[in-house]
Structure 1
Amino acid sequence: MSLPIVAIIGRPNVGKSTFVNRLAEVRDAIVHDEPGVTRDRTYKPAFWNDRDFLVVDTGGLVFDDDTEFLPLIREQAMAALAEASVAVMVVDGQAGVTAADEAIATWLRQQSVPVLLAVNKCESVEQGLIQAAEFWSLGLGEPHPVSAIHGSGTGDLLDKLITFLPPTEQIEETDEIRVAIVGRPNVGKSSLLNAFVGEKRAIVSPISGTTRDAIDMQVERNGQRYRLIDTAGIRKKKQVEYGPEFFGINRAFKAIRRADVVLLVIDAIDGVTEQDQKLAGRIADDGRACVVVINKWDAIEKDSHTIYEYQRHLEDRLHFTNWAETIFVSAMTGQRVEKILELVNRAAEQHRRRVSTSVINEVLEEAGNWHSPPTTRQGRQGKIYYGTQVSTQPPAIALFVNDPNLFNDNYRRYIERQFRQSLGFVGTPVRFFWRGKKLREVERGSANRATKV
């Protein structure tokens, strides 16, 4: 059963995103004193009494202006209203009734969805009642004075709101794979999301910085549920000014950290840039599984050597994620888009994989037979006693040795190559912890002292 949806509607700068943050009890939606910050529709889970629902933030509605993104924002708001069980129109109690409020109210009265009226910015209870009274003229029923910042009045509004929602039923939880879609501006991230979903879920525009907030969307394929997270395009830090883009990029970095698998989208025409390399490094550092998606492949003139030359280019430039699988797609035509999820499944499986200690030690023994650890000029040689996996997501393996300083970077890379050749781990980083004998003795001594106490 899908959760019922509550659409938040209103003109720009009345506090819709702040109101969404209040209902969802998070601070995820970007709030900034500037019209047009919210553009796409973003979904946040919320709960009140015995009801679970999704609250949908939408861009500010303007009906008499077709410049820049405003027609696309209207399209997104209308799509949110079409799937909603109830809508909440948010107005500014301090500004009073405006012509834009009247236009939106007229449009909402023509819809079949029930509408509640939230008069925001009513910080004082007594003054709020006076401010709200003016909004009876909109013809949407009782105006509810609320303060999205302080939370006053929202409880009464929610009590009324949940009467339009079905009771929460026990829903069997399905294992969900969280997939973050990241990349530079204008590489086709939102187009890719729309191609997955099969509808215009995110606004697509050639204007850089169109997507500002992280947009979550659930899709299901062959019984597997995916949460796709479209993110703002990430530019070089020195080019980003404080404001909506700054917050959007921070949301993108958070999306990487909460994802199981990251789709690193690269523009096939531009190739791998320095910024793409930095993103690949961040994905590896955060320990996320990864699939490299080369988008706009349809725009490349090809011959029998093109794909091999491009793969060599990727190997040279993306050494941070040389363990990730690569796929060449076109979000515009849909070419190979569905196959991305096959790679996502494989990467997620390897990211969560656990290997027994006996298998790990077989790999170590074979690696040592082929290439023994290095010996110093003083005749000291590194020894690997045994290894064991200590965690997953990403897989982490502790190697217990006589002295970690005896193992140089070349040998450590050799050990990782041997593990990947023997065990796979395609699509996920693998972390190795080299633990020396002295460290183990210190830990053992601490444990003994704790036992005596």
Structure 2
Amino acid sequence: MPFTIAIIGRPNVGKSTLFNRLVGQKLALVDDMPGVTRDRREGEAKLFDLNFTIIDTAGLDEGPKGSLTARMQEQTETAIALADALFFVIDARIGLTPADRAFADFARRADKPVLLLANKSEGKHGELGAMESYALGLGDPIQISAEHGEGMGELYDAVSKLVPPTDDEEDEHEETDEERANRPIRVAIVGRPNAGKSTLINHLLGEERLLTSPEAGTTRDSIAVEIEWKGRGFRIFDTAGLRRRSRIEEKLEKLSVADALRAVRFAEVVVLMMDAQNRFEEQDLRIADLIEREGRALVIAVNKWDLMDGNPGQISMLRRDADHWLPQVAGAPIVAVSGLMGEGIDRLMQAIIEAYAIWNRRVPTAALNRWFEQAIADNPPPAVSGRRLKLNYITQTKARPPSFVLFCSRADAIPQSYLRYLTNSMRETFELPGTPVRITLREKANPFAHKRKRPN
């Protein structure tokens, strides 16, 4: 179990900026507005030769029982319980506040090593605020600037007394083929706001890991969680709801949407979650089109199915609707679920595994050539400007998603309708439902192009 450190403190002291600095990526959303972070987020931190797990938390704040603020604090308390040590962060430019003093007592009661970090210490005002922090009784403050990377050496000296150094031999370990095969499948859960994404993941985990609320827009960061289902590992990303661009007004929501789009690009399988009572709306179709353009395997989950009337034939209607509205990913698996009641979860997880296998599929060359000859014989390419188009051969260049190169004459003249015919025929023949199929056209080199015409 790696050494774990939780970053705690009141809102807007720079906890997420420090988290991003230590993990070396902009994973956590950062904004001047207090309270951006809501769920706890974990990452693998590296501080020179020290490796440890770091947890970013919501700002410690008080709120009535059952409120969103109170549940955010519960997430922070869970992070403190999981951690081996704490970074207690204050804003040195503002100096100590009553909230800092109250939460310092909270940190002391955790009975774990606490490092006091005076963030934003650059400049004269930061120096004065850092001096004030001695009054908290948490030891000598470590003056840092998470934004500018100042004070990381002093932070290393303090952390090195807690975290054992990393064994270099472990860093040089190369991943074997078996390890790659057993690597967790990366899954992003996306959809419109309030479709039930966080509720579904909480049911998979068996705990209230992610904040949920009847209000749309509760999730802001893309939070990754690890689960295991029937011996198979999954790394699942909960994302912020995706609204139409014209409705995105606040800067923070724009950051949340950008974070969700990054999760889609990082994922291998994307689950598009829809509300059963308002399914296949325009924004759902836009999101599905984005997933297809990014080349990710798609699984459609129709959530809140427990609210439907249960008439026979509803599932068949879902299948027909999906193929009608999403022809670019024809055959994509569609599963009716209830994240709240836990219905359909096993079917959804099995659909994710099958979609992942199809996304990784390679078609044997001999079978591909036989299909290609038959497809051209059944439906020859049309003549353009009185000249016949010649299709020479096709080969698969890669999987993830299945991608092919078609060598031909006059690539720019082949109609898109004919490429759609080849794509749909390939899906049906080689059982590639739902996954994006890429066909790139390439003109075959003319062996006589370099020869000059003889003068008359």
TM-score normalized by the length of structure 2? 0.90
Alpha-carbon distance, 1:272 to partner: 1.1
Q: Is 1:253 aligned to 2:257, yes or no?
A: no
Q: CA, structure 1 residues 94+436, in 2 after alignment: closer, same or farther (shift >3 Å)?
A: same
Aligned to 2:16: 17
May I ask how many residue pairs the two structures share in their alignment? Answer: 439
**1:321-336 maps to which residues of 2 (within 5 A)?**
321-336=329-344
Q: Secondary structure at the match of 1:338?
A: helix
**1:329-348 maps to which residues of 2 (within 5 A)?**
329-348=337-356
Distance 1:393 1:339 in 2: 23
Q: Is 1:314 aligned to 2:322, yes or no?
A: yes
Percentage of matched positions with identical amino acids: 38
Which has the larger displacement, 339-348 or 103-112?
Answer: 339-348
Distance 1:349 1:308 in 2: 24
Aligned to 2:402: 395
Alpha-carbon distance, 1:6 to partner: 1.5
Aligned to 1:236: 244
Q: Secondary structure at the match of 1:366?
A: helix
Aligned to 1:448: none
What amino acid does structure 2 have at the position aligned with 1:409?
Q
Q: Is 1:164 aligned to 2:172, yes or no?
A: no
What amino acid does structure 2 have at the position aligned with 1:429?
P
Alpha-carbon distance, 1:279 to partner: 0.4
Distance 2:378 2:431 in 1: 19
Aligned to 2:453: none
Task: Write out per-residue CA displacement over residues 71-94 of structure 1, whole angstroms, 9 at most, x where no aligned residue.
Answer: 111011011111111111111112
Q: CA, structure 1 residues 413+240, in 2 after alignment: closer, same or farther (shift >3 Å)?
A: same
Assess if the C-alpha contact under 8 Å between 2:37 and 2:58 holds in 1: yes
Assess if the C-alpha contact under 8 Å between 1:185 and 1:234 holds in 2: yes
Where structure 1 has 5 or more consecutive residues not aligned to the other structure, the ranges are: 446-453
Aligned to 2:454: none
Aligned to 2:130: 132
Task: Write out per-residue CA displacement over residues 206-262 of structure 1, whole angstroms, 9 at most, x where no aligned residue.
Answer: 111111111111223344322111111011111111321110001111111111111
**1:60-99 maps to which residues of 2 (within 5 A)?**
60-63=59-62, 68-99=67-98
Aligned to 2:25: 26
**1:252-331 maps to which residues of 2 (within 5 A)?**
252-331=260-339
Q: Secondary structure at the match of 2:44?
A: strand
Task: Write out per-residue CA displacement over residues 339-386 of structure 1, whole angstroms, 9 at most, x where no aligned residue.
Answer: 3222222222222222233221111012123333334572x3333211
Alpha-carbon distance, 1:5 to partner: 2.2
Assess if the C-alpha contact under 8 Å between 1:353 and 1:392 holds in 2: yes
Assess if the C-alpha contact under 8 Å between 1:381 and 1:406 holds in 2: no
Alpha-carbon distance, 1:68 to partner: 4.9
Which has the larger displacement, 416-425 or 164-173?
Answer: 164-173
Assess if the C-alpha contact under 8 Å between 1:219 and 1:228 holds in 2: yes
**1:104-253 maps to which residues of 2 (within 5 A)?**
104-124=103-123, 128-168=126-166, 170=170, 174-253=182-261
Aligned to 2:364: 356
Which has the larger displacement, 194-203 or 314-323?
Answer: 314-323
Distance 2:131 2:370 in 1: 77
Assess if the C-alpha contact under 8 Å between 2:92 and 2:127 holds in 1: no
Distance 2:436 2:317 in 1: 25
Q: CA, structure 1 residues 67+305, in 2 after alignment: closer, same or farther (shift >3 Å)?
A: closer
Alpha-carbon distance, 1:129 to partner: 4.9
What amino acid does structure 1 have at the position aligned with 2:392?
Y
Q: Secondary structure at the match of 1:398?
A: strand
Assess if the C-alpha contact under 8 Å between 2:92 and 2:128 holds in 1: no
Task: Write out per-residue CA displacement over residues 123-178 of structure 1, whole angstroms, 9 at most, x where no aligned residue.
Answer: 13x76554322212212222111111111112322332243235546487552321
Distance 1:351 1:249 in 2: 25
What amino acid does structure 2 have at the position aligned with 1:139?
G
Distance 2:433 2:62 in 1: 50
Task: Write out per-residue CA displacement over residues 290-317 of structure 1, whole angstroms, 9 at most, x where no aligned residue.
Answer: 1111111111111112222233222222
Q: Is 1:423 aligned to 2:430, yes or no?
A: yes
Which has the larger displacement, 5-14 or 417-426?
Answer: 417-426
Q: Is 1:435 aligned to 2:442, yes or no?
A: yes
Distance 1:223 1:49 in 2: 35
Distance 1:417 1:61 in 2: 54
TM-score normalized by the length of structure 1? 0.91
